[in-house]
A and B are shown apart, each in its own frame.
Chain A
């Protein structure tokens, strides 16, 4: 299997864990995997990306522009910023809940993400989900990454078995949070599957 997956968001949203779960699951399925993370200063509220490259044909640690099969965006403006990575005909799973940077609060331009999602609509094959609202029943925004991972899997664009992903979630999250993470993942699956059915 050759598959390039770009995960983008804002430092602190849990993109790294999502990329690790995907990479580990793809490896369990017998694939060669490379990945790359934004680490360091940008983690403090900056734009972050994780590049997951499945298959032998990956040389660059970063996915080339126009190369990603899936764009998994944790934030609408970050989806716009990184759309250049998505290949023609690729899928984008996008959280519509905006994360407003301090600079926006200071200048009060009213950024709320809606302009981004409106623009994205015509640009690619998008699945929109308000992951912040979806997190509410689980009691914390910390489940955002697992829900979005579930959505991506539900659309069928990860190319991985969901049991493999669940197994890796079990390995990567603390045992006491496994049950709730599993429920969050399944909620994501529902949303992803529904989006495919309505197409």
Chain B
């Protein structure tokens, strides 16, 4: 059958076609739809889970692969940092069944904290990496990745980027999928228990294995040479290959070398591809990984070769690549001219900026506002975290002083507390992030005597990445109703002295809870519980009574809900956006905002 799917869907279907037995991961743009796609197709006999974090996911999958099963782990590139502890070690131990770790990179970055390059991680961990340039290739390549993993008994990385993950294509897939049979775990402590002696021996084997894999990769079908030219050549990898193809449409006379497996570097392939070439341009995103390998190859083989790319300033180090960027660089390198895109007109009117904002009616807005109101006039610091609530940084809320990585808000609030004892230090964390990497931070706070207020913004979902379930939701990816892990009870169990639960939309009560907390010492927690507005049906909507509105704009100035609009001299509520949360009505000094039909 033919399926029109996004790159992430292609990866999921490729894994199903490869007979995958277990899939685990943690949501993160641009990788989240892989597991969601698996769940939408028949997957009887496959264990599917959103793990609490990427480290857990990789460990679950590694043990499945020890048992001879085929296992896939999915995450975004920063998730690989979380999973790097098991990754580095499982590279030494190896696997029996295929273990493929999908780590989606995000050049730009479009929705990430860093522009890190998973190919470097492959080199660092000394395991192979596959780098597709389109959804069609991703479907084929993920199956090759499983084969490679099993043939060499090594975990394998699979690195798509945002533009591949979110591109759609039509793919021919089997009508039915069947997980592979496997024989189960066989005890063998000499193989599965990591000790220094075993690591020393395996380190040697890994390097020997990588030499063999590099040979294999030199004959790999997706490492290709096109075009007849000599003298100059273009090397591209990942989606940059698609951009170069777009630029060189109809030009058969330019040699285009494409590297789909950056590590172990297919040196023999590259030597053949570079025959007769004296100058090469490398177009790749994130880090100059392939460029460096070509430089090494040129050095080792005494090639007279000029290498252009990020390292000599021909290609920018940061940001994502594009047809336009590639086209400009290729023009300079090859002396060719493409039809020029129309230049941006000088008289173009100034455009409104549209930073992402909390949705209209989002309960996080109310939570932030309650804390802001309660702390008015007091010195307070607000440590944010990763999730929708990072958007609490936007004006006019302006309630995020730090944001670093998953779970860091809780621990950073402690660092601020120890060095700024005169300030009230708050940590904001979402429910999913709390489970992912927040809990250990709370233990740290209790143990080390920190004086912080933990605000758990519990909207009963993982909202930013598309509403995945988590341990607090009572649902998992096997379709089972499961016991909800209760955040309040977890906190009490850890030893948090006071745990208050409030509905942030009951503004006065929420403000009061924060005020009370601020007067206490030690680790205190407030659970702001209100479901994500994207998952609930709106209550009756709010409206502004034009006769009562005094146009003070307090609602707009203080909470900045997208549904509040200035309509001439008065405020109007966009009924298409309003969810009826009523927060604006609670702060209106003129009592001009009320429920539906309010005139």
Contact = CB atoms under 8 A, between A and B. Distances in A.
Interface in A21-72: 23-24, 27, 32-47, 57-62, 64-67
Contact of B357 (A45, A109, A142): A45
B166 A64 contact: no
A105 B245 CA distance: 44
B312 to A, nearest CB: 25
B354 A101 contact: yes
A79 to B, nearest CB: 10
A39 B104 CA distance: 14
Contact of A100 (B29, B340, B352): B352
A106 B357 CA distance: 13
Interface string B313-354: 000000000111001000000000001111011011101111
B30 A39 contact: yes
B358 interface: yes
B29 A27 contact: no
B4 interface: yes
Given A60-B243, A116-B349, A66 B339 contact: yes
A103 B355 contact: yes
A101 B394 contact: no
Interface stretch (A80-88, A147-155, A157-165): A80-88
Interface residues of A, number: 54
B576 A35 contact: no
Contacts of A39: 29-30, 166
Nearest to B164: A61
A18 to B, nearest CB: 14
B560 A42 contact: no
A40 B29 CA distance: 6
A43 B110 CA distance: 12
Given A57-B249, A59-B245, A102-B560, A45 B163 contact: no
Nearest to B338: A64
A140 interface: yes
A105 B564 contact: yes
A35 B347 contact: no
B342 A65 contact: yes
Nearest to B574: A141
Contacts of A119: 347-349
A88 B239 contact: no
A10 B347 CA distance: 23
Nearest to B391: A44
B560 A106 contact: yes
B565 A59 contact: no
A24 B245 CA distance: 25
Contacts of B348: 80, 119
Interface string A106-128: 10110100011001000100000
Contacts of A84: 341-342, 344
B339 to A, nearest CB: 7
A37 B168 contact: yes
Interface of A: 10-12, 23-24, 27, 32-47, 57-62, 64-67, 77, 80-81, 84, 88, 100-106, 108-109, 111, 115-116, 119, 123, 140-142
19 contacts: A12-B577, A23-B4, A34-B168, A40-B111, A41-B110, A41-B356, A44-B357, A45-B562, A58-B246, A60-B246, A61-B242, A62-B322, A64-B341, A65-B324, A80-B351, A81-B351, A101-B355, A119-B348, A141-B576
Given A44-B358, A44-B359, 15 more contacts: A33-B4, A38-B166, A39-B166, A40-B465, A41-B110, A42-B356, A45-B356, A58-B246, A60-B243, A101-B562, A105-B560, A105-B565, A106-B396, A109-B352, A119-B348
